[in-house]
Amino acid sequence: MCGIRSMNEPCRCHVIYGPGPNNYGRGWPEIDFEIPPELLERLIMKKVDEIQIKQYRKKPVVIHAKKITKEMTVTTLEGTMTGNPGDWLIIGIKGEEYFCKDDIFRETYEVVE
């Protein structure tokens, strides 16, 4: 198990060596260790290179959106989605409806004049 809270702090890990899952407390050797941030970043980038992850940019498509003032729900392809006051209701290019948090919306979209 490894918990990463920030790339600026060490990753604290706890490993149990045993023949299967659920070995905790069964007498198998255990080890706690930390991975320094600079090593963690190198390991992640090495893995990214190995599986050939590429960067992508959203295409410049126009959507319709309205900031909502009360809780509401919409049905999406993934099921029912609830939006909270301050979220944005987006109607996509194929008429699909979904919500987006305000901070993400402001970073992603701009008004079309």
pTM of the complete model: 0.53
Which residue type, as a one-letter code, is found at position 75?
T
Same domain, yes or no: 15 and 37: yes
Could you give the number of structural domains in the chain?
A: 2
d(CA 28, CA 18): 6
Same domain, yes or no: 38 and 73: no
Same domain, yes or no: 37 and 76: no
Residue 57 lies in a domain: no
Determine the pLDDT at residue 1.
41
Determine the pLDDT at residue 10.
66
pLDDT tens digit sequence for 47-72 = 666 666 677 788 888 999 999 999 99
Same domain, yes or no: 45 and 76: no
pLDDT at 45 over 90: no
Domain, as residue range, for 44: 2-50
Residue 56 lies in a domain: no
Q: Are 98 and 80 in contact (CB under 8 A)?
A: no
